[in-house]
Amino acid sequence: MPKVSVNGEKFTLEAEQGESLLSCIRRSGLGTESTCGGRGVCGKCRVTAQGELSPPDELEAKLLEGQPAGVRLACRAKVAGDVSLTLSDSWTRLQAASAPPIGEVVLDSPVKRILLPEKGRDATPYVQTLPFRVADPRLLDKLERQNKTQACGIVFENKAIDILSDGAPLLGAAVDVGTTSLSLCLFDLETGGSLASSSALNPQTAYGGDVITRIEYCRNEREGVSVLRSTLLEQLGAMLDETLGRNLRREQVYLMSVAGNTTMLHILAGVNPLSLALAPFRPAFLNPLVLEAERYGLPMAPQGRLILLPGASAYIGADIIAGLLAINYRSLPPCTLFVDIGTNGEIVLIENPETLFATSCAMGPALEGMNISCGCRAIPGAIDTVTAQDGAELRFSTIGDLPPVGICGSGLIDLIAALLSIGAIAPGGAFNGCGKLSDRLREDRYHLSESIFLSQKDIRQVQLAKGAMSAAILTLLDRAGRSVSDLEQIIVAGSFGYHLNPESLKRIGLLPEDYSGPVTFVGNSSLSGASLVVRNRAMLTEMERLASSIRVLELGAHPDFSKRFLSMLGFSNQKREARSGKREESRVPTLPR
């Protein structure tokens, strides 16, 4: 059988004749970007390969135009003999957004350490004298062998989950499982203090860039759910180890609270998410689920508990409910719009603390740099800001001030907004050759450099995303009997949203262009909400109440959405002077509870 050696023969595996390199990479336990799920259309699974491979077909050659010799698409290159393969880890690096301040809550964690009383001298079973329940026979045995006066019970929901005889720290972790990125924050459960944090790319991106492609993977592969769950747990374990450092251990982590969209939480629970993609889009669960670490193979203390936080619907998940909790939605002015921009767009209209309307729309991964010719994630060297100077000359910056390697989402939005503002893109989305742009506009591509460009297809991808978001916002406002002029504030959440320019968002139409109020960026509010649950058990009850009270609008069945979506694909024909100074934005302050 042909052999595929990876990264200088550090790893070798056997391959079937005609097997794709992507299949080999997945079998090896390694990874590479595959936004389209291996369908061969996104062009992101680029690897360097030498040896006996099928020649590039017409589509692969087009997607790799301008790339050095030896670069292939892993999903389209087929093994014909021995192959040497080089993988880069640059696709796993990204710039993570910080989370907003968690807010002040009374420390009352769901997991506590309770000092055991001394044993009596009568015949009463010792377990009956304890201020908590003990149901596990293994703990009864531990209790009987316990002689130290400082022994403690580790208690969850008034039920003992472990018995300890040392004073090791009692730890918990808050986790946000995003479609694209993962974030984790480690806490001391007895002081409430944050100890460390970690972020990483969700390794499931090797199987698809959005929830639909991953649901398709679960549909088409018999072990699809297990594969996606295993890759996720392995990465979460590595992130937890990073935060623990040398002095702390997994065995001291007795609690995890996890926020995420409904699809991600289904996969983490080992539940097939197929029903979320089929009408009537019925989740298998929305209420909180508590998973026992030992039973579900979780990277924490075997006796620990992981709480999957509650969601409101198939596409208004626990990440949105946790985000509302984090921004203290009850304190916000009436008619506030809460928007999470990512592969899905989730929108919540907060009329008042008791009346909230929500909806979601599929935006695809374009705004995160995927499905874009030179798109990339927010990695070092990614173009993240673009401004127009002297009427037409465009200038850009990169993450880390490194040579440009691609355009991430914030840079893409800035670039299109700048080209619109100087009239280089027409309202319909087509390029206009004009002035100083002439030497940079080549056929259907505008070049920021020799190798990095924006194509007509890229503009179309952004139009589809912004059309969906614009139509969703207006449809939700209609449902509540409101208009853009009624909005008091817009809050933008999510790792992607944290890096955006509000003027660029309005210029391309992702936010209503006629909105003139404040735009507040809050970063990863989902992680902040999960952190509240780790520190105070009443926050979970509040999340459940909130999730059940939100009025969810399903856009697929709404008679006006499709018509409005089509009408919103174009850009405004209003030319504006591009801003080149400081961005006008604000951050959410620490909010009391």
Q: What are the pLDDT digits (tens) for 513-563?
A: 999 999 999 889 999 999 999 999 999 999 999 999 999 999 988 888 999
Give the residue range(s) of CATH 3.10.20.30 domains in the chain.
3-88
Q: Which CATH code is given to the segment(s) 171-308? A: 3.30.420.480
For position 9, what pLDDT does the model report?
A: 61
Place of tokens 């009352």: 108
Helices (H), 82-223: 137-144, 211-220
| CB-based contacts of 479, cutoff 8 Å, min separation 6 | 357, 359, 553
Q: Which helix (H) or strand (E) holds 421?
A: helix 409-421
For position 350, what pLDDT does the model report?
A: 97
Is the Cα torsion angle 226, 229, 232, 235 positive or negative in sign?
Answer: negative
Name 520's bridge partners.
491, 586
For position 582, what pLDDT does the model report?
A: 39
For position 7, what pLDDT does the model report?
A: 76
Q: Quick one: which of 548, 589, 66 has its CA closest to 311?
A: 548
Q: Residue 429, by phi and psi: left (phi above 0), alpha (psi -120 to 50) or beta?
A: left
Q: Are 345 and 364 in contact (CB under 8 A)?
A: no
Q: Looking at domain 328-365+462-587, does it have CATH number 3.30.420? A: yes
Q: 366-378: string of b/e by CB count within 10 Å (b at 16+)?
A: bbbbbbbbbbbbb
Taking only the tens of pLDDT, the chain with its 593 residues reads: 888 888 766 678 888 888 888 888 877 767 677 777 677 777 778 888 888 899 988 888 888 877 778 888 888 889 989 888 887 665 555 555 445 455 678 999 999 999 988 888 888 888 998 999 998 888 988 888 776 666 899 999 999 999 988 788 999 999 999 998 899 999 999 999 999 999 998 999 889 888 999 999 999 999 999 999 999 999 999 999 999 999 999 999 999 999 999 999 999 999 999 999 998 999 999 999 999 999 999 999 999 999 999 999 999 999 999 999 999 999 999 999 999 988 889 999 999 999 999 999 988 878 877 788 888 888 889 999 999 876 667 889 999 899 999 999 899 999 999 999 888 899 999 988 655 566 788 878 889 888 899 999 999 999 999 999 999 999 999 999 999 999 999 999 976 655 688 999 999 999 999 999 999 998 899 999 999 999 999 999 999 999 999 999 999 888 889 999 999 999 987 654 444 333 444 444 334 34
Place of tokens 């130290």: 148
For position 588, what pLDDT does the model report?
A: 43
Q: Quick one: which of 46, 49, 52 has its CA closest to 2?
A: 52
CATH number of 3-88: 3.10.20.30, 1.10.10.10, 3.40.228.10, 3.55.40.20? 3.10.20.30
pTM for the predicted model, two decimal places: 0.86
Give the residue range(s) of CATH 3.30.420.480 domains in the chain.
171-308
Sheet order of strands, 152-156 included: 111-115, 152-156, 159-164
Q: Specify burial of residue 62 (Cβ count, 10 A radius: 0-12, 13-18, 19+).
A: exposed
